[in-house]
Amino acid sequence: MGQDIAGLSVEAGTGGTKHHFYHDMEQDRSLSATIVSAIAEVNGMEPTSLGFALHDYFDTDALDALFAPKLDGQPREGGRLTFTLPEHEVTVFSDGHIVISEISTPATH
């Protein structure tokens, strides 16, 4: 099982370390902003110090819209999206669960 750290669960296994975060889909803060903050927390730094911007990798407005409530206000169910960022694989679930897996980059010879 993972260790709880301020709303964060950390799970170490043979596949590497996975960090679990949760985004409240009903709050005003965007999902993409929560992802940036989560990656910064995993790295022990401020979001502005990451060295990359999420929008350099994909359309953050599209990500936020993909998981936004339906037009009738009902939450989306059953969806998930996985993408890779520098040294991290991020999986976002429609219920607000975010899993950040640390990945290493292969050494070049």
Contact (CB, 8 A) for 69 and 75: yes
Distance separating the N- and C-terminal Cα atoms of the chain: 37
How are strands ordered across the β-sheet holding 3-5? 3-5, 8-13, 16-22, 97-102, 88-93, 80-85
In a domain, 21, yes or no: yes
pLDDT digits (tens, 9 = 90+) for 45-70: 999 899 888 999 989 999 999 988 88
How many independent structural domains does the chain possess? 1
Q: C-alpha 72: how far from its chain's center?
A: 26
In a domain, 24, yes or no: yes
In a domain, 92, yes or no: yes
pLDDT at 1 over 60: no
In a domain, 108, yes or no: no
Query: Looking at the whole model, is its pTM more than 0.85?
Result: no
In a domain, 44, yes or no: yes
Percent of the residues in the chain that have a pLDDT greater than 90, as a whole number: 47
Contact (CB, 8 A) for 11 and 17: yes
Please give the pLDDT value at position 3.
36
pLDDT at 14 over 70: no
In a domain, 107, yes or no: no
Query: The domain containing residue 87 runs over which residues?
Result: 3-102
In a domain, 52, yes or no: yes
Closest CA to 19 of 7, 32, 33: 7
